[in-house]
Amino acid sequence: MGSIDLLVVVVKRRVIVTMGLCLVWLGVFGIVLANLLPDGKLVVIDPGHGGIDGGTSNRGILEKNINLRMGHILRQVLENNHYRVIMTRTDDSDVTNFVPPGGSRYQRDLRGRVRLVGRVQPCSLISIHVNWHQETWRSGAIVYYQEGETSGRLLAELIQKELNTIQKTQRQVRSANFYVLRNTNAPAVLIELGFISNPEDLKAMQDDTWLTRQAEAIMVGLEIFLQQTRCLPQEAGGQSKAKTRL
């Protein structure tokens, strides 16, 4: 082998070694970067009702519209803080398109929401609703979790704590047996933003500034939850046969 051929072989070997080292470095860097980036901070926001299902109402204000408005505000707040967000609906429609025909529109709508969550495997599901009560003095946001689910309860308690800092009425979390919570394989909560039957709450829920404060409080509770827990799917809740509100 001539000196030129030998030089070519040496250069090729050095290039190969250098490339190998670069690939190893990129692999290590990729692992570190993956741990630093918010890949696990995927949240599904579920604005309740939609389409022909207006939810509850008062003075011509429909729950479905408040839910959607809050959904977009919460999405913006979360995305501004490096979350990835998926919404079950982004306009005035239901979620029946996620499931095949069969059964009532109401049932397919609920199944569609659950099916979407199951596909994307988020760190949490936040379902947004509005409360109503015949006693119009009742007020304040209330966070619900699926009965028997510890991670859902922790998430609910942390969000409720933050919401209580910005509202007059100090509420406690409540367990429930809502379809979306019961059948979701992820830490999930359902937040009633306030009572549409209460004049002050109704006015506040039409104010983007107020809704943004609620969204920021929800995000703080979620942040603390993710700091305290690992982002893993949880077992579906107990099969209680209590009647659901949804």
Does this model's pTM top 0.85? no
Same domain, 10 and 67: no
245 in any annotated domain: no
Total domain count, the chain:
2
Same domain, 128 and 191: yes
pLDDT tens digit string along 191-207? Answer: 999 999 999 999 999 99
The backbone region for 55, taken as left when phi is positive above 0, alpha when psi lies in -120 to 50, beta otherwise, is left
Same domain, 46 and 28: no
Domain that holds residue 22: 1-37
Same domain, 30 and 129: no
Closest by Cα among 170, 146, 157, 155 to 242: 146
Look at residue 217 and tell me whether its pLDDT is greater than 60.
yes
246 in any annotated domain: no
Rounded CA-CA distance 220/215 in Å is 9
| CATH number, position 61 | 3.40.630.40
pLDDT tens digit string along 150-192? Answer: 999 999 999 999 999 999 999 999 999 999 999 999 999 999 9
112 in any annotated domain: yes
Same domain, 30 and 109: no
Same domain, 85 and 8: no
Same domain, 153 and 195: yes
Look at residue 71 and tell me whether its pLDDT is greater than 80.
yes
Same domain, 217 and 101: yes
Long-range contacts of residues 165-171, Cβ cutoff 8 Å, at least 24 apart: 165/217, 166/213, 166/214, 166/217, 167/139, 167/140, 167/141, 167/194, 168/139, 168/140, 169/139, 169/140, 170/140, 171/140, 171/141, 171/142, 171/143
Look at residue 238 and tell me whether its pLDDT is greater than 50.
no
Quick one: pLDDT at residue 201? 98
Same domain, 8 and 124: no
Give the residue carrying structure tokens 């901070």: 41
